[in-house]
Amino acid sequence: AQRVTQPEKLLSVFKGAPVELKCNYSYSGSPELFWYVQYSRQRLQLLLRHISRESIKGFTADLNKGETSFHLKKPFAQEEDSAMYYCALKMDSSYKLIFGSGTRLLVRP
Amino acid sequence: DAGITQSPRHKVTETGTPVTLRCHQTENHRYMYWYRQDPGHGLRLIHYSYGVKDTDKGEVSDGYSVSRSKTEDFLLTLESATSSQTSVYFCAIRDSSYNEQFFGPGTRLTVL
């Protein structure tokens, strides 16, 4: 079955440290991967998608089909990055998203 | 906010009572979705709609029904609320122009 796995429930780092939030997926077709972010008491918003290959707020993510991963990285974490992060998978020919269980990022001063 | 609102934003109800949550969009998108958000489970799809009167089940549809009688409104009904349905419910729309989903502000439902 198609699945998205985010192995870390909580990731705590100090300000200025590098951050990597892990995301692995299981899907044999052509996936489209997304990262969504939810700041405290706000709605989910799209952070980035693999197709656009863009960098948003200093975050990047590369789709590795060999390892079926889409890890989210940032070289220097900021306190305002503290939030809940969700990885999501869209299968081809589907209009639904499959979400991982989320990782809470806490950036300490 | 992509023109998505949800009502009510907070609700406390008792076990066994019916509850209806409303999602309203202003931008005429065809696809609408209802998710629930629970710690350790992330977001799980309850039901979705691909047009007026066209709906389908998601992965956690038991105990929920939906209706979409017009493009702008997608209603989620809990026929007889249970404590396991205490959750935060998010509505989303799919913007085909950007091929991404935009989310509403959420409804926090507590079933006592």
Reported as a single tens digit per residue, the pLDDT across B22-33 is: 999 998 899 999
Report residue A79's pLDDT band, with 50, 70 and 90 as the boundaries.
very high
Would you state the pLDDT for residue B1? 62
- Contact assignment for A43 to B1 by CB distance below 8 Å: yes
Question: Residue B53: pLDDT above 70?
Answer: yes
Please list, in sequence order, all residues whose beta carbon lies within 8 angstroms of the beta carbon of residue A94, skipping any fewer than 6 positions away: none
Would you state the pLDDT for residue B111? 97
The values of phi and psi at residue A80, to 5°, are: -70, -5
Question: Residue A54: pLDDT above 80?
Answer: no
Asked if residue A99 lies in contact with residue A46, where contact means CB atoms within 8 angstroms, the answer is: no
Q: H or E element: which one contains A24? A: strand A24-26
Report residue B2's pLDDT band, with 50, 70 and 90 as the boundaries.
low
Please indicate if any CB of chain B lies within 8 Å of the CB of A99. Answer: yes
- Selecting from A34, A98, A101 the residue whose C-beta is nearest the C-beta of B40 gives A101
How many angstroms away from the CA of B94 is the closest CA of chain A?
8
Q: From B79, B53, B78, select the one nearest B67 (Cα to Cα).
A: B53
Q: How far apart are CA A9 and CA A105, in angstroms?
A: 9
Q: How far apart are CA B101 and CA A36, in angstroms?
A: 10
Q: Which residue is listed with tokens 């929920």?
A: B64
Residue A97 one-letter amino acid: L
Q: What is the pLDDT of residues B67-111, one digit of tens each?
A: 999 999 999 999 999 999 999 999 999 987 777 899 999 999 999
Would you state the pLDDT for residue B40? 86
Please indicate if any CB of chain B lies within 8 Å of the CB of A45. Answer: yes
- Contact assignment for B101 to A43 by CB distance below 8 Å: no
